[in-house]
Amino acid sequence: MLMISPKMASGMQEKQYTPSLLSFFIYNPTFGPREGEEEKKILFYHPSDVEKNEKIRNVGLCEAIVQFTRTFCPTKPAKSLHTQKNRQFFFEPEENFWMVMVVRNPMIEKPNKDGKPPTVEYQEEEMLDTVYGAVVRQCYSMYKLFNGTFSRAMQAGGVELLMQKLEKFFYRYLQTLHLQSCDLLDVFGGISFFPLDKMTYLKIQSFVNRVEESLSLIKYTAFLYNDQLIWSGLEQDDMRILYKYLTTSLFPRHSEPELAGRDSPMRPEVAGNLLHYGRFLTGPTNLKDPEAKFRFPKIFVSAEDGYEELHLIVYKAMSAAACFMISASVELTREFCEQLDSLVGPQLTLLASDICEQFTINRRISGPEKEPQFKFIYFNHMNLAEKSTIHMRKTASVCLTSVHPDLMKILGDINCDFARVDEDEEIIVKAMTDYWVVGKKSDQRELYVILNQKNANLIEVNGTSPLFGIKQMYVILTKSTPSVPVISSSPYVDPCLFFSPFSFFFITLEEVKRLCATQFNNIFFLD
């Protein structure tokens, strides 16, 4: 789990350690209120090989801190505890159920001469509560997605069942936490939307509606392309966590073998001329296999009366993936899967190539991708749309960023500042010699830009660059011909939805007025 920083390679004698998970536990203080029964409170403890008394001690400490701080502010219990060596995060997802994550602070190990033990310097300031607080909440959401709430398990089979479920789920899940690469995006927990023109979008709508109509068992459908969302029939919060699962776990697991050349997605057996590339990512890998099991993962989503349990069928053809959700009370049969395969496969293949074609046309129009002058993260609270040019493509194991962690830290700091007030704000930070970091919050949107301008001073940065002093976020989308800008102030125009056919930037109101006055004929207003 330890990541060694590049400084190691550059020959310096320091060793840097990134944050790592020390322990993770879940307890309920009401399960063992009497002395001597403290162990009963503990529902899950990682690492499991910790001595029993230590477990009890740690849990007790957390309980005490929460109880103690409650006296100061009954409505907002403590969220985290900072110590020199580590940091603890508390989260009460359901009444009396507490999740606690203990993370060791990043540290630098400086070797001393004469064989003395190295000096360890903890960097307790480097970690952000918001980021890791979000990680804990995500842990719970993910558990809930696949298992339902804690109290559901309690009702179904008491503490024992709950403990089993927790053990089964978190044992694997905790291994996939990569605490060293958690950053601002974890705070947002956003969804990346695929940029698409209206007509293709409507075609997808039509496809979804037809499938849902002819296979009436399907309750909800979600549609993704290139790991980016296009349509969700689920509610936003459910989609947010399902999207997280799909893009960080399910899709990478399936794309890695593909990339490695194994398991070609092209089906060897082609019936008639219904050539299609569709296949199930969940459930049976091969429909023709007589031994195939038609079991699909089950997920829990919110419904009118609490939650509902659904089968999750993920079906993929080329880069297009459709998730079909069917009530868990229905037994899924081979016939149904075959029917779905023969209905969805050809259509989805066709649709995928349509989208791909559209996408490449747009790419070609927008010209060769230039090295952007700046890097940015964009997030819209309203539709959870996010876009980052800082992050590389996510894989199952790592999430790479192209900027230094310290810059990411500054972004996180700015985000914390924004969270404190409701008003629109702009923060400009001169980070290091040549870096400027600009954070901008306007209505529901946040934009963070990292700019590397040599020798720029504040006045220049604020005065000349189109990025600064934005009163309201105007999005200018420049089509292939630079003379035809499209100006929009609509909250629904997200740059992330237009990024591939357009390049975009933000401008000031004054600039908009000037453009309107001088070249009105060539401007489209989009809303």
| In the complex, minimum distance from the CB of residue 43 to another protein, in angstroms, rounded to a whole number | 29
- Find the binding residues for another protein in span 282-321 (CB under 8 A): 304
- Find the binding residues for another protein in span 470-499 (CB under 8 A): 471-472, 474, 487, 489-492, 494, 497
- Give the binding range for another protein (CB under 8 A) out of 17-25, 114-122, 333-341, 511-519: 511-519
Cα–Cα distance, 328 to 333 (Å, whole number): 13
Does 339 sit near another protein (CB under 8 A)? no
Does 508 sit near another protein (CB under 8 A)? no
Residue with the two structure tokens 């605490």: 179
Is the Cβ of residue 221 or residue 282 nearer to another protein in the bound state?
A: 221
Does 514 sit near another protein (CB under 8 A)? no
Residue 335's nearest CA partner among 281, 284, 278 is: 284
| In the complex, minimum distance from the CB of residue 194 to another protein, in angstroms, rounded to a whole number | 10
Q: What is the DSSP letter of 182?
A: -
| In the complex, minimum distance from the CB of residue 391 to another protein, in angstroms, rounded to a whole number | 15
Does 126 sit near another protein (CB under 8 A)? yes
Does 235 sit near another protein (CB under 8 A)? yes
- Find the binding residues for another protein in span 407-446 (CB under 8 A): 407, 409-410, 413, 423-435, 441-444
- Find the binding residues for another protein in span 157-216 (CB under 8 A): 193, 196, 198-199, 201-203, 205-206, 209-210, 212-214, 216
Q: 295-321 burial, b if ≥16 CB within 10 A, otherwise e?
A: ebeebbbeeeeebbbbbbbbbbbbbbb
Cα–Cα distance, 358 to 364 (Å, whole number): 10
- Please return the burial class of 258, using the count of CB atoms within 10 Å of its CB with bins 0-12, 13-18 and 19+: exposed
As given in the structure block, the two tokens for residue 298 are 């089950």
Q: What is the DSSP letter of 391?
A: B
Write the single-letter amino acid at 42. Answer: I
| In the complex, minimum distance from the CB of residue 403 to another protein, in angstroms, rounded to a whole number | 6
SS3 234: coil
Is the Cβ of residue 79 or residue 404 nearer to another protein in the bound state?
A: 404
Is the Cβ of residue 4 or residue 270 nearer to another protein in the bound state?
A: 4
Give 231's strand partners: 223
Is the Cβ of residue 213 or residue 289 nearer to another protein in the bound state?
A: 213
Contacts of 117 (CB under 8 A, 6+ apart): none
* Segment 302-305 long-range contacts (CB within 8 Å, at least 24 positions apart): 302/235, 302/237, 302/238
Considering only 13, 175, 236, 397, the residue that binds another protein (CB under 8 A) is: 236
Does 518 sit near another protein (CB under 8 A)? no
Q: What is the DSSP letter of 249?
A: I
